[in-house]
């Protein structure tokens, strides 16, 4: 006879066994996914290049791809083998607050030698990622990130038609090694953030992916760069949009403009059904010359195209626009911006203070995590967040714990409908309105995902009670 205890441990072992294949053998004996933050040497330029001293999960950047089913529970143990405190944030997951991984807000940073057990359920299907959330400007740039993919309940793309492309922008020196001398450079912090000079896909330079002809393929693009807004042209190879920031659209959308912008932390899932012989490349266009990120070889012969699986849409709480409360977010600071009215830790910054504190961006005049939240919301309340970019730079604003609908973009020609997102881009002089129901209790960060901007002040939070 099998007792209840035995039965439970048996089914736990079964779950672990099925997940093992995708979690890259990172399991401890008790079925917990182990993520060891540790140094590892990696050649960013491939075998002949110089060795870079990266910070990794389990010895390689990007870290292991975590693959789950919608509604599944994740147990992950962060083991910090670095010399710097760290934490893990599960970007885009509508997660229970205590598991959000924001050092200094939802948990203490895990000290060197320490561990932290994350335990949560993934409520939505889609393309997400995880990354360090303590001194992230430093830790993410050194390699502490990975993909987190949640499969839909209904039809999915078969594994050989489902491709994760985790994109990064590294700054390397002349030998091809990660350039570390400029970490924390105020020049980057006050301008567009740490921009790199080497773009990789899943840690490799210009990989070749093979696609079978006449079959629908899902390309999951994730921008893990600290600061670069990737400029892409998916329409050039006939791709349509399946999802933004993890949330599937009711039906695939055609992109009728270029370039398509993918800001730091944003994701887009593309649908492409290539024809035989139509090889193509995914190019990045922000640097004057097209920069090939990846090449796609199309194999097979001409034939009938198979239809794409219809993705089930996540059930997100629709904002109640009639009852929405407007919260205004005034973005200031940065080079060529207003630097004379920034309050940091209760004090007005002046002259040398900017250099000394590294604080040079502000949200409603305050740099970096004031004691008081930007707003307090009742659980269930709809907030209309009106963000006004009074700076000379583009920003990628991320709301933790919730997805929002973009309801209006003033000053932008891009019209992508009213998509659900967790991160929105806002150009200089633009005003963007997003709405969401505050249905997730806790303290949630709201910040620019250009990680140098966040470190230099573009960081606030809100409280849902």
Nearest distance, CB of residue 235 and ligand C2O, angstroms: 27
Under rule CB under 6 A, residue 89 binds ligand C2O? yes
Among positions 354, 374, 438, 445, the unique one binding ligand C2O when judged by CB under 6 A: 445
Q: How many CB atoms lie within 10 A of CB 273?
A: 19
Contacting ligand C2O within 324-363 (CB under 6 A): none
Q: Closer to Cu ion at the Cβ: 177 or 225? A: 225
Q: What CA–CA distance (Å, rounded) separates 284 from 268? A: 14
Instruction: Answer whether the bond into residue 259 is a cis peptide, omega within 30°.
Output: yes
Under rule CB under 5 A, residue 395 binds Cu ion? yes
Under rule CB under 6 A, residue 91 binds ligand C2O? yes
Among positions 450, 451, 455, 464, the unique one binding Cu ion when judged by CB under 5 A: 450
Give the 3-state secondary structure of residue 355. helix
Task: Specify the stretch interacting with ligand C2O by CB under 6 A; choose among 116-124, 152-160, 431-439, 444-452.
Answer: 444-452
Give the 3-state secondary structure of residue 226. coil
Closest residue by beta carbon to ligand C2O: 91
Supply φ then ψ for residue 299, to 5 degrees: -105, 155
Nearest distance, CB of residue 14 and ligand C2O, angstroms: 32
Under rule CB under 6 A, residue 447 binds ligand C2O? yes
Question: In this structure, are strands 381-389 and 420-421 parallel, antiparallel, or unpaired?
Answer: unpaired
Under rule CB under 6 A, residue 220 binds ligand C2O? no
Residues in the chain: 465
Bridge partner list, 41:
53
Task: Specify the stretch interacting with Cu ion by CB under 5 A; choose among 11-19, 29-37, 318-326, 445-453.
Answer: 445-453
Nearest distance, CB of residue 202 and ligand C2O, angstroms: 18
Under rule CB under 5 A, residue 448 binds Cu ion? yes
> Of 260, 187, 262, which is closest to residue 225 (Cα–Cα)?
262
Residues 6+ apart with CB under 8 A from 228: 169, 193, 195, 196, 264, 286
> Of 73, 77, 76, 78, which is closest to residue 11 (Cα–Cα)?
73
Structure tokens at 254: 């055609």
Task: Specify the stretch interacting with ligand C2O by CB under 6 A; choose among 166-174, 339-347, 367-375, 442-450.
Answer: 442-450
Q: Cα separations (Å) of 57 from 17, 76, 197?
A: 21, 12, 23
Structure tokens at 190: 């006050």
DSSP 105-159: TTBPPBPTT-EEEEEEE--S-EEEEEEE-SSHHHHTTTT-EEEEEEE-SS----G
The listed partner (ligand C2O, Cu ion, none) that binds 450, CB under 5 to 8 Å by sort, is Cu ion
The site map against ligand C2O for 236-265 (x = CB under 6 A) is -----------------------------x
Under rule CB under 6 A, residue 395 binds ligand C2O? no
The site map against Cu ion for 248-287 (x = CB under 5 A) is ----------------------------------------
Nearest distance, CB of residue 447 and Cu ion, angstroms: 8
Under rule CB under 6 A, residue 443 binds ligand C2O? no
Q: Closer to ligand C2O at the Cβ: 74 or 339? A: 74
Do 128 and 150 meet the contact criterion of CB atoms below 8 Å apart?
Answer: yes
Determine the Cα angle at 380 with ends 117 and 251, to 5°: 80
Could you list the residues that contact ligand C2O (CB under 6 A)?
89, 91, 131, 133, 265, 398, 400, 445, 447, 449
Could you list the residues that contact Cu ion (CB under 5 A)?
395, 448, 450, 453
């Amino acid at each position: 006879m099998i007792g209840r205890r035995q039965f439970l441990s048996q089914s736990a072992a079964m779950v672990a066994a099925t997940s093992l294949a995708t979690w890259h053998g990172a399991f401890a004996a008790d079925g917990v996914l182990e993520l060891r933050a540790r140094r590892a040497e990696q050649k960013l330029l491939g075998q002949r290049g110089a060795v870079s001293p990266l910070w990794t999960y389990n010895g390689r950047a990007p870290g292991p791809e975590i693959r789950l089913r919608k509604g599944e529970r994740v147990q992950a143990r962060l083991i910090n083998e670095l010399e710097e405190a760290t934490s893990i944030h599960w970007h885009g997951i509508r997660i229970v607050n205590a598991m959000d991984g924001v050092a200094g807000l939802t948990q203490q940073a895990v000290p060197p030698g320490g561990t932290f057990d994350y335990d949560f359920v993934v409520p939505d299907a889609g393309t997400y990622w995880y990354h360090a959330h303590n001194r992230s400007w430093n830790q993410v740039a050194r390699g502490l990130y990975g993909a987190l993919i949640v499969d839909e309940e209904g039809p999915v793309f078969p594994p050989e038609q489902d491709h994760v492309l985790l994109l990064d922008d590294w700054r390397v020196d002349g030998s091809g090694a990660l350039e570390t001398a400029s970490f924390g450079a105020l020049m980057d912090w006050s301008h567009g953030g740490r921009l790199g000079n080497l773009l990789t896909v899943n840690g490799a330079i210009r990989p070749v992916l093979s696609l079978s002809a006449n079959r629908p393929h899902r390309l999951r693009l994730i921008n893990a760069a600290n600061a670069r807004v990737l400029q892409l042209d998916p329409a050039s190879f006939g791709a349509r949009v399946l999802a933004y920031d993890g949330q599937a659209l009711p039906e695939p959308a055609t992109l009728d403009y270029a370039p398509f912008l993918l800001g730091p932390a944003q994701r887009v899932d593309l649908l492409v059904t290539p024809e035989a012989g139509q090889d193509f490349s995914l190019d990045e266009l922000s640097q004057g010359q097209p920069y090939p990120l990846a090449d796609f070889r199309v194999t097979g012969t001409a034939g009938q195209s198979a239809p794409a699986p219809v993705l089930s849409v996540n059930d997100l709480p629709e904002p109640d626009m009639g009852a929405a409360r407007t919260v205004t977010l005034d973005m200031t600071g940065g080079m060529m911006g207003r630097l004379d009215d920034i309050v940091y830790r209760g004090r007005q910054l002046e002259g040398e203070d900017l250099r000394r504190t590294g604080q040079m961006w502000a949200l409603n005049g305050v740099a970096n995590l004031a004691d008081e939240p930007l707003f307090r919301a009742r659980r269930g309340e709809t907030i209309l967040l009106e963000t006004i970019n009074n700076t000379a730079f583009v920003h990628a604003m991320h709301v933790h714990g919730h997805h929002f609908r973009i309801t209006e973009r003033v000053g932008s020609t891009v019209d992508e409908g009213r998509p659900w997102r967790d991160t929105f881009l806002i150009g200089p002089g633009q005003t963007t309105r997003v709405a969401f129901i505050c249905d997730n209790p806790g303290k949630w960060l709201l910040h620019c995902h250009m990680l140098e901007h966040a470190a230099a002040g573009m960081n606030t939070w809100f409280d849902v009670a």
